[in-house]
Amino acid sequence: MSAKAPLPRPGATLDITDAVCPLTFVKAKVALEDLEAGQVISIRLNDGEPAQNLPRSLKDEGHAVLGLTDNGDGTFALLVRKGPA
Amino acid sequence: MGLSDGDLERYSRHIILREIGVGGQRRLLAGKVLVIGAGGLGSPAAMYLAAAGVGEIGLADGDEVDLSNLQRQIAHSTADIGRPKVQSAAETLEALNPGVRVNRHPGRVTAADILDLVARYDFVLDGTDNFPAKFLINDACVIAGKPFSHAGIIRFRGQLTTYLPGRGPCYRCLFVQPPPPEAVPSCRQAGVVGALAGVIGCLQALEAIKFLAGLGGLLCGRLLTFDALSMAFREIRVPVRENCAVCGPDPTILRPSDHEMAACGLGE
């Protein structure tokens, strides 16, 4: 991932800091199913297991992980572009 | 159909599966399955259908719970002895998943009412223990164009196959007509190992779930047999019988009929 290219603005947001595995993934998956292919969503998630596993799980589903940004408060912002159906 | 947070959590292990996902779970929630026979096969099948969130489950059975049923008919408990099986099993399903609707169809299904009954559902599961009922269900489902799962168990062996209208053989293609009553040991006369009912009933539930969710390959044109003693599954390819009396091009069976019940109507 290039550090230079600006990240796209998300068209949707989701907060899953109140969920634990595997509901973190389930909620992200449901939110992505409501989007069109190519749309971008910003997902707020907790440090630790969600930040480690969710990007990998969403890649496995065929989505593109554009970036993971530390919010500085123990949470991260995960930017994901929905893959082709 | 919206999924509540509770639904997302309850069905999370389905939704995680790429093959099911939210779409497949929504199809299960919108699905309607009729389980005929709330006994050894119907108990585990209906329980897994309820757990899976199949939106509407019909239970049809005319029997009452007997002490000798409890070795394999796990939808019923000792406290249910003497109660109608549809009532006992319905309460088990409702306790397991209050989100599903359970329809009670008490009384033995007959030629007079089976067409109206199967018309209300997407898929039928034959969990009966006698040949007349199996032929009745087959003929009704073929005539109504309704997919169904056939299964049978005895001693240590079980078998199942799935009928899909217009896409494969029906039960009558495999077995032209019921065997003579004296040739048939029923579950009442022949033993059956209880857990075998769980194996085969769960396979039937899987067929219904896959049909509703629209995934995988069904046992259409294939008879799957299981021998619990040798722990071996075997698959037998079964062709369409060209001159089948009910699903053939020139059928002679145009409406379901009640066959002689002597085969295992003993004591009923």
CB contact under 8 A, B12 and A33: no
Of B13, B18, B22, the CB nearest to A30: B22
pLDDT at B187: 61
pLDDT in tens, B33-66: 999 999 999 999 999 999 999 999 999 999 999 9
CB contact under 8 A, B8 and A30: yes
Q: With 60 as the cut, is the pLDDT of residue B241 above it?
A: yes
pLDDT at B262: 47
CB contact under 8 A, A29 and B3: no
Rounded CA separation B201/B40 (Å): 7
| DSSP H or E stretch at residue B172 | helix B171-174
Residue B111 corresponds to which tokens in the numbers above? 């030629």
Average pLDDT, chain B: 94
Report yes or no: B215 at the A interface, CB cutoff 8 Å.
no
Residue B152 corresponds to which tokens in the numbers above? 């049978």
pLDDT in tens, B249-258: 999 999 999 9
User: CA-CA distances (angstroms) from residue B119 to B19, B59, B141, B226, B246?
Assistant: 28, 14, 9, 31, 18
| Residue A5 is assigned to a structural domain of this protein | no
Rounded CA separation B127/B115 (Å): 17
By CA distance, what is B3's nearest residue in A? A30
Of B3, B16, B18, the CB nearest to A22: B16
| Residue A1 is assigned to a structural domain of this protein | no
Domain span including residue A20: 12-81
| Residue A7 is assigned to a structural domain of this protein | no
Rounded CA separation B61/B117 (Å): 12
The enclosing domain of A63 has a CATH number of 3.30.110.40
pLDDT at B186: 64
Q: In chain A, what residues touch B15 (CB-CB under 8 Å)? A: 26, 29-30
| Residue A42 is assigned to a structural domain of this protein | yes
Residue with tokens 């912002």: A77
Residue ranges of domains in chain B, CATH in brackets: 13-237 (3.40.50.720)
| Residue A6 is assigned to a structural domain of this protein | no
Number of domains in chain A: 1
pLDDT band per the 50, 70, 90 thresholds, residue B89: very high
| Residue A75 is assigned to a structural domain of this protein | yes
How far off is chain B from A30, nearest CA to CA, in Å? 6
| Residue A37 is assigned to a structural domain of this protein | yes
Rounded CA separation B149/B164 (Å): 9
Enter the ipTM.
0.78
B166 and B221 Cβ atoms separated by less than 8 Å? no
pLDDT at B84: 98
| Residue A2 is assigned to a structural domain of this protein | no
Q: What is the rounded end-to-end Cα distance, in angstroms, of chain A?
A: 23
CB contact under 8 A, B16 and A26: yes
